[in-house]
């Protein structure tokens, strides 16, 4: 029986109206409501379901960041994960943290914890990178089942139905493997009150990236963050010819 | 020594977290998580259907089952009996968040927790708890509380429903009025006079399953608000129950009712807070969006003053409610504070409901916006589980006791 690592990222809540900082270095995060990335919720739900079906024995929730991410880990514990790992990253390292650094951390943890599966959300709703799962698999030289909308474990292999542009693709990959959760994989459960109580007693281990031999140096520098351009009013036209003429005039065609 | 005593006191204030006013500013982590999960549920599952439930007078059976699975239908019940094993502050937070999504559903949660399970948890035997509480923790079954009668509401000591013993059975006769959850309940805690000569000391409490021979329901009342709950008379005609169905000792019914209502007040205060907050949310949101005189109406002082008054009313009632809950959790007397909470919260709810419609203007008067539903849902909170007038009597009574020389 095996162990699963689940990544949970603390992001600005999906319902919050995002504002760019006046110095254009990023978005305002102070005092703004944060919660677990919705795709990470789906990943946690899948891992907990696999444990309930007895395919896996232990689910470990992992998050990287400053002390506030322990709230996100606790939510994962309240949903049914067994224990948590908080990889402490703060200050400039945290601001510059991206998929490359995270995937190095997850690769190191996957080996350390002897995980059979690493389940991540397909992307985070703040940076929309959609890279961490893929990079983690590459670093580990493990097979990957990304954009999963259905996961079935069969012995030492996993059947993954993937959502792709053309429709659905079914692949079979051997374990250990990395999976990334897409929207329709499942409907995450609400944390029940008894599980919230139990979550208090579950352990969250602390470590630093250096403990895992990971250097957090980023090769990406954010130059500027801008608001999207304000939407201009549309123009109504009478005929198709008018439409074509207008599109040619403004250089669209 | 004095130093160790001071250290112990300050540690006590920190360690007992919940017990001190300083923690009212930020709730303990577990309570915050619990509040968030209830809020998420209310926003996603109750908010979208609350209007329909109200319009069609539909009992939210599916949602009650889901809330049961989350532990919300039995917050204070120990885990061994199937509950969530949390404290009354957690319960208050849960009811507020649920009520914010749907006032009716919040009422169902409150009645099941405080009025039905509450007295059985406090006064029942272990066997009664297993039989009458555990099946009611999952959301599959809900209970109700039958104290009021057509002839007496506030005058609870004048119970004219009678219970006489016949062999190994109690036989109940009489009518109970205004019973919330009646048509959806699977059991009731009901109060009847066992010794008329002892007046209010001759009232006893009983547990009756529903349905049951000899117990029938009157027509569903057509109410102004909380329309997704069923309210009706309970009619007892030679309703026979085993002797073991008496709750607590003979003659202790009035005491059981009063103590149950003390706790129930915190539940209703929480329900009122949720409705008040929903009304405030609606008004504040509208103030951002609606423009008049060339700007969002939130820029107008008249609207600002209303919003400010609403916010103060809700927040002060909330702190009173939390304090009452914390005192109960600390096993300290909380009668006065619970009455103050219920009074403040229910008056805040009617105030916010009223002002919310005012901020919305014409839009507040139509069913397109939820303001009118909050206004209607709020109204009952000043009436049931002790009218605002009774609350004032309770508070004054406690206050005068404190000042008695």
User: What residue of A is the nearest CA neighbor of B34?
Assistant: A193
Give the Cα-Cα-Cα angle A204, A205, A208 (nearest 5 degrees): 130
Query: A207 — phi, psi (to 5°)?
Result: -155, 170
CA distances in angstroms from B213 to B128, B161, B181, B237, listed in the order given:
20, 17, 19, 9
Interface test with B, best of A193, A199, A201 (most B CBs within 10 A): A193
- Cβ within 8 Å of residue A166, ≥6 positions away: none
Is B33 in contact with A190 (Cβ distance < 8 A)?
Answer: no
DSSP string, A150-166: EEEEETTEEEEEEEETT
Is B33 in contact with A74 (Cβ distance < 8 A)?
Answer: yes
Q: How far is A197 from chain B (nearest CA, A)?
A: 7
Least CB–CB distance from A193: residue in B34, B40, B66:
B34
- In chain A the beta strands, taken as DSSP E runs, fall at 2-7, 10-12, 34-36, 56-65, 83-88, 117-121, 144-154, 157-164, 167-174, 177-181, 204-207
User: What residue of A is the nearest CA neighbor of B73?
Assistant: A193
Q: B332-343 burial, b if ≥16 CB within 10 A, otherwise e?
A: eebbbbbbbbbb
Q: In this structure, are residues A178 and A140 in contact, taking their beta carbons and an 8 Å threshold?
A: yes
Residue A253's pLDDT is 83
pLDDT digits (tens, 9 = 90+) for B312-342: 999 999 999 999 999 999 999 999 999 999 9
pLDDT at B7 over 70: no
Q: How far is A66 from chain B (nearest CA, A)?
A: 17
Least CB–CB distance from A196: residue in B34, B40, B79:
B34
Is A190 in contact with B85 (Cβ distance < 8 A)?
Answer: no
Q: In this structure, are residues B211 and B138 in contact, taking their beta carbons and an 8 Å threshold?
A: no
pLDDT at A20 over 50: yes
Q: How far is CA B45 from the centre of its chain?
A: 21
CA distances in angstroms from B167 to A31, B52, B189, B212, listed in the order given:
68, 49, 22, 19
Q: A18-54 burial, b if ≥16 CB within 10 A, otherwise e?
A: eeeeeeeeeeebeeeebbbbbbbbbbbbbbbbbbeee
CA distances in angstroms from A193 to B67, B74, B75, B97, B116, listed in the order given:
10, 10, 8, 14, 20
Least CB–CB distance from A194: residue in B36, B41, B71:
B71
- Cβ within 8 Å of residue B55, ≥6 positions away: B227, B367
- Cβ within 8 Å of residue A5, ≥6 positions away: A60, A62, A106, A109, A110, A113, A115, A117, A118, A119
Is B71 in contact with A190 (Cβ distance < 8 A)?
Answer: no
Residue B156's pLDDT is 81
Task: Please count the other Cβ atoms lying within 10 Å of the Cβ belonging to residue B295.
Answer: 9
Least CB–CB distance from A190: residue in B37, B84, B86:
B37
- Write down the catalytic residue from B79, B169, B385, B402: B385
pLDDT at B6 over 90: no
Residue A232's pLDDT is 84
| Residue A71, helix vs strand vs coil | helix
Interface test with A, best of B26, B28, B36 (most A CBs within 10 A): B36
pLDDT digits (tens, 9 = 90+) for B188-234: 999 999 999 998 899 999 999 999 999 999 999 999 999 999 999 99
Neighboring chain A residues of B109 at a CB cutoff of 8 Å: none
User: What residue of A is the nearest CA neighbor of B138?
Assistant: A192
Q: In this structure, are residues B368 and B361 in contact, taking their beta carbons and an 8 Å threshold?
A: no
Interface test with A, best of B18, B26, B27, B33 (most A CBs within 10 A): B33
B167: left (phi over 0), alpha (psi -120 to 50) or beta: left
Q: In this structure, are residues B254 and B156 in contact, taking their beta carbons and an 8 Å threshold?
A: yes
pLDDT digits (tens, 9 = 90+) for B39-56: 999 999 999 999 999 999
Q: In this structure, are residues A8 and A37 in contact, taking their beta carbons and an 8 Å threshold?
A: yes
Is A191 in contact with B41 (Cβ distance < 8 A)?
Answer: no
User: What residue of B is the nearest CA neighbor of A79?
Assistant: B37
**With an 8 Å Cβ cutoff, is A10 touching chain B?**
no
Least CB–CB distance from B71: residue in A71, A193, A199:
A193
User: What residue of B is the nearest CA neighbor of A200?
Assistant: B30
pLDDT at B19 over 60: no
Is A196 in contact with B30 (Cβ distance < 8 A)?
Answer: yes
Residue A1's pLDDT is 57
Which of A34, A39, A79 has the alpha carbon at shortest distance from A59? A79
Interface test with B, best of A13, A70, A190 (most B CBs within 10 A): A190
Is A78 in contact with B37 (Cβ distance < 8 A)?
Answer: yes
Residue B14's pLDDT is 36
Which helix (H) or strand (E) segment is B362 a member of? helix B362-365
Is B85 in contact with A194 (Cβ distance < 8 A)?
Answer: yes
pLDDT at B140 over 60: yes
Residues B51, B366: Cα–Cα separation, whole Å? 12
Which of B91, B64, B60 has the alpha carbon at shortest distance from B77? B91
DSSP-based helix, strand, coil % in chain B, nearest 5:
60, 15, 20
Residues A99, A134: Cα–Cα separation, whole Å? 9
Residue B12's pLDDT is 37
Q: What rounded mean pLDDT belongs to chain B?
A: 93
ipTM metric: 0.81
Q: In this structure, are residues B152 and B209 in contact, taking their beta carbons and an 8 Å threshold?
A: no
Neighboring chain B residues of A191 at a CB cutoff of 8 Å: 33, 37, 70
Q: In this structure, are residues B209 and B186 in contact, taking their beta carbons and an 8 Å threshold?
A: yes
Which of B253, B213, B206 has the alpha carbon at shortest distance from B236? B213
pLDDT digits (tens, 9 = 90+) for A128-185: 999 999 999 999 999 999 999 999 999 999 999 999 999 999 999 999 999 999 999 9
Is A193 in contact with B29 (Cβ distance < 8 A)?
Answer: no
Neighboring chain A residues of B71 at a CB cutoff of 8 Å: 192-194
Task: Please count the other Cβ atoms lying within 10 Å of the Cβ belonging to residue B150.
Answer: 13
Which of A135, A158, A125 has the alpha carbon at shortest distance from A4? A158
Q: In this structure, are residues B100 and B278 in contact, taking their beta carbons and an 8 Å threshold?
A: yes
| Residue B385 annotated among the catalytic residues of the structure | yes
Which of A 16-45 lie inside 8 A of B, CB atoms? 35
Neighboring chain B residues of A75 at a CB cutoff of 8 Å: 33
Size of interface A-B (CB pairs under 8 A): 46
Helical spans, DSSP H, in B143-214: none
Which of A226, A229, A249, A225 has the alpha carbon at shortest distance from A237? A249
pLDDT digits (tens, 9 = 90+) for B162-184: 999 999 999 999 999 999 999 99
Is B33 in contact with A196 (Cβ distance < 8 A)?
Answer: yes
pLDDT digits (tens, 9 = 90+) for A27-77: 999 989 999 999 999 999 999 999 999 999 999 999 999 999 999 999 999
Residues A170, A167: Cα–Cα separation, whole Å? 10
Q: How far is B131 from chain A (nearest CA, A)?
A: 21
pLDDT digits (tens, 9 = 90+) for A201-232: 999 999 999 999 999 998 888 899 999 888 88
Which of A37, A15, A184 has the alpha carbon at shortest distance from A120? A37
Q: In this structure, are residues B247 and B119 in contact, taking their beta carbons and an 8 Å threshold?
A: yes
């Amino acid at each position: 029986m095996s162990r699963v690592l689940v990544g949970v990222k603390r992001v600005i809540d999906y319902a919050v109206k995002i504002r760019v900082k006046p110095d254009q270095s990023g978005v305002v995060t102070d005092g703004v409501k944060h919660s677990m990335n919705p795709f990470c919720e789906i990943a946690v739900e899948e891992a907990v379901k696999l444990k309930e079906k007895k395919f896996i024995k232990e689910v470990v929730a992992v998050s990287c960041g400053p002390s506030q991410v322990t709230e996100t880990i606790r939510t994962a514990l309240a949903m049914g994960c067994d224990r948590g790992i908080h990889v402490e990253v703060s200050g400039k390292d945290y601001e510059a943290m991206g998929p490359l650094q995270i995937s190095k951390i997850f690769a190191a943890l996957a080996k350390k914890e002897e995980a059979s599966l690493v389940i991540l959300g397909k992307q985070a709703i703040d940076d929309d990178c959609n890279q961490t799962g893929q990079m983690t698999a590459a670093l580990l030289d493990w097979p990957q089942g990304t954009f999963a909308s259905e996961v079935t474990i069969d012995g030492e292999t996993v059947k993954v139905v993937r959502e792709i542009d053309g429709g659905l693709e079914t692949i079979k990959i051997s374990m250990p493997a990395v999976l990334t959760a897409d929207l329709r994989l499942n409907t995450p459960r609400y944390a029940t009150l008894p599980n919230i109580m139990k979550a208090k007693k579950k352990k969250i281990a602390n470590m630093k990236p250096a403990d895992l031999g990971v250097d957090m140096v980023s090769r990406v520098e954010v130059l500027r963050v801008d608001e999207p351009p304000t939407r201009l009013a549309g123009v109504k036209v009478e005929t198709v010819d008018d439409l074509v003429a207008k599109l040619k005039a403004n250089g669209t065609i | 020594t004095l130093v160790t005593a001071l250290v112990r006191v300050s540690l006590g204030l920190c360690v007992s977290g919940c017990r001190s006013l300083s923690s009212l500013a930020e709730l303990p982590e577990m309570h915050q998580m619990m509040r968030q999960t209830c809020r998420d549920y209310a926003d996603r599952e109750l908010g979208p259907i609350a209007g329909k439930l109200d319009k069609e007078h539909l009992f939210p059976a599916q949602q009650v089952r889901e809330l049961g699975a989350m532990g919300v239908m039995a917050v204070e019940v120990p885990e061994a009996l199937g509950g969530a094993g949390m404290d009354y502050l957690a319960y208050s937070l849960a009811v507020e968040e649920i009520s914010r999504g749907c006032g009716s559903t919040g009422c169902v949660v409150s009645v099941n927790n405080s009025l039905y399970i509450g007295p059985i948890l406090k006064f029942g035997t272990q066997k009664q708890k297993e039989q009458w509480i555990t099946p009611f923790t999952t959301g599959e079954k809900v209970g109700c509380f039958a104290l009021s009668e057509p002839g007496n509401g506030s005058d609870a000591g004048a119970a004219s429903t009678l219970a006489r013993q016949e062999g190994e059975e109690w036989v109940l006769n009489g009518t109970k009025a205004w019973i919330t959850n009646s048509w959806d309940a699977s059991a009731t805690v009901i109060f009847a006079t066992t010794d008329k000569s002892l007046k209010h000391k001759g009232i006893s409490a009983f547990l009756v399953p529903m349905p049951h021979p000899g117990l029938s329901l009157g027509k569903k009342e057509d109410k102004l608000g909380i329309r997704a709950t069923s309210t009706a008379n309970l009619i007892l005609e030679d309703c026979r129950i085993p002797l073991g169905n008496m709750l607590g000792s003979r003659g202790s019914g009035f005491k059981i009712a009063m103590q149950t209502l003390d706790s129930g007040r915190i539940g209703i205060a929480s329900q009122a807070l949720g409705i008040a907050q929903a009304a405030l949310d609606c008004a504040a949101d509208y103030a951002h969006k609606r423009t008049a005189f060339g700007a969002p109406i939130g820029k107008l002082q008249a609207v600002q003053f209303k919003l400010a008054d609403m916010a103060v009313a809700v927040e002060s009632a909330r702190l009173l409610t939390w304090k009452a809950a914390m005192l109960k959790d600390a096993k300290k007397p909380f009668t006065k504070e619970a009455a103050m909470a219920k009074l403040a919260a229910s008056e805040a709810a009617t105030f916010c409901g009223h002002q919310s419609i005012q901020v919305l203007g014409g839009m507040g008067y139509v069913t397109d916006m939820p303001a009118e539903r909050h206004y209607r849902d709020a109204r009952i909170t000043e009436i049931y589980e002790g009218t605002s007038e009774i609350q004032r009597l309770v508070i004054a009574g406690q206050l005068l006791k404190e000042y008695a020389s």
